């Protein structure tokens, strides 16, 4: 799932209300032959793009703004699957200057 926010305040308000219904468990759901309680994502927040296009849309000019904490905090890419997180992290990591440092931990 790729989400985007378009327009100005009205869309932002609708998006926030939609997220709250998901958190509250009151969002409308559908079912298919495999799953029950599937939450439908509104069309106006969906984006059909590859990871590079998504990165460029969410983080335009990241090479210029990568040190701007407030600019970075205004943006996020959300995905429900770890495999997508790993792909997105790889692409995003390549945007930053310097050498990559990998730190792993165990629970």
* pLDDT (mean) for 70-99: 88
Paired tokens of 24: 């509250």
Tell me: the pLDDT tens digits for 10-25?
A: 777 888 888 899 889 8
3-state secondary structure of 47: coil
DSSP letter (8 states) at residue 31 = -
CA 96 from chain center: how many Å?
Answer: 19
pTM of this structure? 0.61
pLDDT of res. 1:
42
- Residue 38 pairs in a beta bridge with 30
pLDDT above 70 as % of the chain: 92
Q: Look at 80 and 21; give whichever has higher pLDDT.
A: 21
Residue % of the chain over a pLDDT of 90: 27
- Who's near 71: CB < 8 A, 6+ residues apart? 65
Between 6-10, 29-33, 47-51, 69-73, the lowest mean confidence (pLDDT) is in: 6-10
């Amino acid at each position: 799932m790729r989400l985007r926010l378009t327009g100005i305040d009205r869309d932002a308000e609708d998006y926030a209300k939609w997220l709250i219904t998901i958190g509250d468990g009151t969002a409308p759901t559908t079912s298919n032959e495999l799953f029950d309680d599937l939450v439908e994502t509104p069309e106006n927040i969906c984006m059909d793009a590859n990871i590079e296009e998504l990165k460029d849309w969410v983080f335009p000019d990241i090479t210029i703004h990568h040190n701007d904490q407030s600019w970075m905090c205004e943006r996020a890419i959300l995905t429900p699957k770890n495999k997508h997180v790993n792909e997105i992290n790889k692409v995003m990591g390549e945007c930053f200057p310097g050498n990559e440092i990998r730190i792993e931990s165990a629970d």
